[in-house]
């Protein structure tokens, strides 16, 4: 199973504990989000007009090299948080909303706990 598929089947943490496979998948996603540059990249893409951002727009927001940004984009794609599409010489990125909704549901802990 891919990490994001694991999230779909994970009940809120307060209701049922994760099995080892689920925990490993969720941890990979949180590890990807635990880097400040990747968190900013995700935020830039999510908040960009039209819900997508060109790699040139993302790179311009940082004082790191383009290969470094490409690495961070690759990590976010590998865990299923971003998708990409090549158009001519540029690559455009979009946030995949379902994994973020799954993370939100996983962390949803009611006041009754």
Which pTM does this prediction carry? 0.82
3-state secondary structure of 18: coil
Q: Greatest CA span in the chain, whole angstroms?
A: 53
Domains for the chain: give ranges and CATH numbers: 3-82+89-107 (1.10.10.10)
- Over residues 56-109, the pLDDT tens digits come to 999 999 999 999 999 999 999 999 999 999 999 999 999 999 988 888 888 876
Question: How far is 95 from 70, CA to CA, in rounded Å?
Answer: 15
């Amino acid at each position: 199973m891919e990490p994001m598929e694991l999230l779909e089947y994970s009940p809120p943490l307060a209701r049922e504990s994760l099995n080892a496979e689920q925990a490993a998948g969720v941890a990979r996603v949180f590890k990807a989000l635990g880097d400040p540059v990747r968190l900013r990249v995700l935020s830039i893409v999510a908040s960009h007009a039209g819900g997508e951002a060109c790699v040139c727009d993302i790179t311009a927001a940082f004082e790191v090299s383009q290969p470094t940004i490409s690495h961070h984009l690759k990590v976010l794609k590998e865990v299923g948080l971003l998708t990409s599409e090549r158009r001519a010489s540029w690559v455009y990125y979009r946030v995949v909303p379902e994994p973020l909704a799954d993370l939100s549901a996983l962390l949803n802990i009611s006041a009754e706990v």
